[in-house]
Amino acid sequence: MTDQQQAPTAAELHEVMRELHTVQGLVQDTYSRLWSAPETQDVAYQLEDAAGDIRRAWEALERISGSFVRVYVIPGTESLCGVPWGVCPDHGNTLRVSGDRSWCTVAGCSLKWGHDKLGATCFEPVSHEVTGVSNKPFLACQAHAMDAEKRFQGSAVAIGSV
């Protein structure tokens, strides 16, 4: 990486995830329209496979996005979380987005937002310090700390209250 290039951020990764989600929706819509005509059903099967590939790419990006959380907030600098993507305050990294709507995917959770909460910086209050995932500890809200603990399970991650 040259001096003029910047490392990608978690927000950029989530933007790619949103774009993949949009493309998957377009492919699914096209699949449905092709499936309705018998003469194009063979092509529809291929689109169904493509939608599955897109979904798997999205899931892979979701799995690696947790590694970005450790570099954004330095202890003592913020009273709000500041991680560059939102979470369900009750369940952590469980949000889905469609258009300008976000919702928690945990069964029984009724939390919804009328905006792209996943693509926005987290403004939940800082409640924990996460250490051991990098050289720098960081401050996080309860949901991001819970997510870090899950993602880095087995490593020397410590979650302490602030």
Distances (CA, A) of 70 to 23, 98, 137, 144: 29, 27, 7, 10
Beta strands in the chain (DSSP E): 95-98, 101-104, 112-113, 128-131, 138-140, 158-161
Residue 103: what pLDDT? 92
Residue 63: what pLDDT? 64
Residue 3: what pLDDT? 46
Q: Which residues of the chain carry a pLDDT beneath 70?
A: 1-12, 14, 62-78, 132-135, 153-162
Residue 10: both structure tokens together: 């978690």
pTM above 0.85, yes or no: no
Residues in the chain: 162
Residue 55: both structure tokens together: 């979904």
Residue 70: what pLDDT? 45
